[in-house]
Chain A
Amino acid sequence: MKHPDDDLPAFVNGTLPASDREAIQAHLAGCEQCREEVHWLATLREQMQNDPLPAVNEMGMARLMKAVRDEEKQTATSAPGWWRGALAAAVLVVVAQFGVITSQWQQETVYRPLGETVEDARIQVRFVETASEAQIRELLDRVEGQIVAGPSALGLYLIAVPEGASVEQAATTLRSAEGIVEQAMVESAE
């Protein structure tokens, strides 16, 4: 059998189909040169995978969600008549639920499809200016919270916690994070 040189990387990274894999294994049993090449490729792969992936960029996610909301707004203003009516109804629902927040939130309206459920309460948070992204991320992981809006002009973020979790408890945890959170306030949509 000719040396299966082209297939060795796929053999090493586990993406070679099972039938080809068996043929390679049979070849390796009698080919010192290919065994050495597999060893070298496996070492290369191991060394490359030792590089840690960067952590999730929470600020990047907040930026993305803001861009998405901005696009939704844009779509809403250019939508045809029937769709505009449906959006208007959706906006009424959302505005009712976020009444308190929107007044402090730079009049930033959130558009959602009709019928979508909105959590009962979220937490409005201002982070300490010197808090690092890693600190914020670790804190959010602890309360299983996600940034769903912000930063507003006042530097406020809106944090959602999973359904069933205690919002009050999450807010207490956030408040107790000295050096990371300046203020944390539960906002009820009722």
Chain B
Amino acid sequence: MTDSVAEEQALLQAVADGDQRALQTLYRRWQPRLQYYVQSRLGGDAAAAQDVVHEVMLDVWRQAGRFEGRSKPLTWAMSMAHNKLVDYLRKWSREDSHDNVPEPEDHEEGDTAAAIQGSQEAAYLHHCIRQLPDGQRDAIQLAFFDDMAYPDIAEVIDCPLGTVKTRIFHARAQLKRCLSALMKGLCSLDEPDGCSPRPS
């Protein structure tokens, strides 16, 4: 167990005992990460994301005593954030498309690693990440932004381990296709609905 996980377990125990300062410490540690995760799923809506994170941290206060230590504390909190997010999206009738988005027409992949190394190219990557179905975007973000292990990702997004692997696999392929299409000018950053190649 890492020092930071042990520290957070101790903080959660203190929160369970009613220690408000421990809650503030956890808030300082977790809020930026929770905010980033939720906000990116809400299309950048910072205010809505703040509301969701507020609810998550309030649940941390209410439910700290129920944390059983079977996962990392942050994974537990991220899992609550994911559930709140799903509830929020359901409430506002936004569709969670998961993996049901049709695959775009395949075209030859270029050097997609080179495509995301420059600053202009970073915009390509952000564009392509935004085009991913929600389930794939969650999985790839938790894997590469949060450096989470597959079992932790599975707990956060509440799905089997195999589904996590499948989503990451499809996300990688989709990102490559999207970046390749942008590099070749087959689509542009202005296109809101993805990077399907333009008809010739």
Contact = CB atoms under 8 A, between A and B. Distances in A.
B45 to A, nearest CB: 13
Contacts of B24: 61, 65, 146, 148
Given A43-B116, A43-B117, A60 B50 contact: yes
A38 to B, nearest CB: 10
Contact of A68 (B35, B58, B113): B58
B41 interface: no
Q: Which of B62, B122, B143 has the most CB of A within 10 A?
A: B143
B42 interface: no
Interface in B1-59: 17-18, 20, 23-24, 27-28, 31-33, 35-36, 39, 50, 53-54, 57-58
Interface in A31-88: 36, 39-41, 43-45, 47-51, 53-57, 60-61, 63-65, 67-68, 71
Contacts of B141: 48
B112 A40 contact: yes
B101 interface: no
Contacts of B57: 64
A138 to B, nearest CB: 15
Size range of the interface on B?
A: 35 or more
Contacts of A47: 116-117, 122, 125
Contacts of A190: none
Given A43-B116, A65-B20, A68-B23, A9 B143 contact: yes
B143 A13 contact: yes
A64 B27 contact: yes
Contacts of B175: 44
A148 B19 CA distance: 13
A129 interface: no
A56 B26 CA distance: 11
A146 B28 CA distance: 11
Interface residues of A, number: 36
B147 interface: yes
A19 interface: no
Given A48-B141, A57-B50, A64-B23, A15 B148 contact: yes
A26 interface: no
Interface in B99-131: 112-113, 116-117, 122, 125, 129
B61 A68 contact: yes
Given A61-B28, A68-B20, A13 B147 contact: yes
A28 to B, nearest CB: 15
Contact of B58 (A15, A51, A54, A67): A67
B140 to A, nearest CB: 8
Contact of A15 (B39, B50, B150, B169): B150
A45 B149 contact: no
Contacts of A10: 143, 149-150
B15 to A, nearest CB: 10
A54 B36 contact: yes
A14 interface: yes
Contacts of A41: 144, 172
A146 B53 CA distance: 19
Contacts of A45: 144, 147
A47 B112 CA distance: 12
Interface of B: 17-18, 20, 23-24, 27-28, 31-33, 35-36, 39, 50, 53-54, 57-58, 61-62, 112-113, 116-117, 122, 125, 129, 141, 143-145, 147-150, 152, 165, 168-169, 172, 175-176
Given A47-B116, A48-B129, A54-B39, 4 more contacts: A9-B172, A47-B122, A50-B122, A60-B50
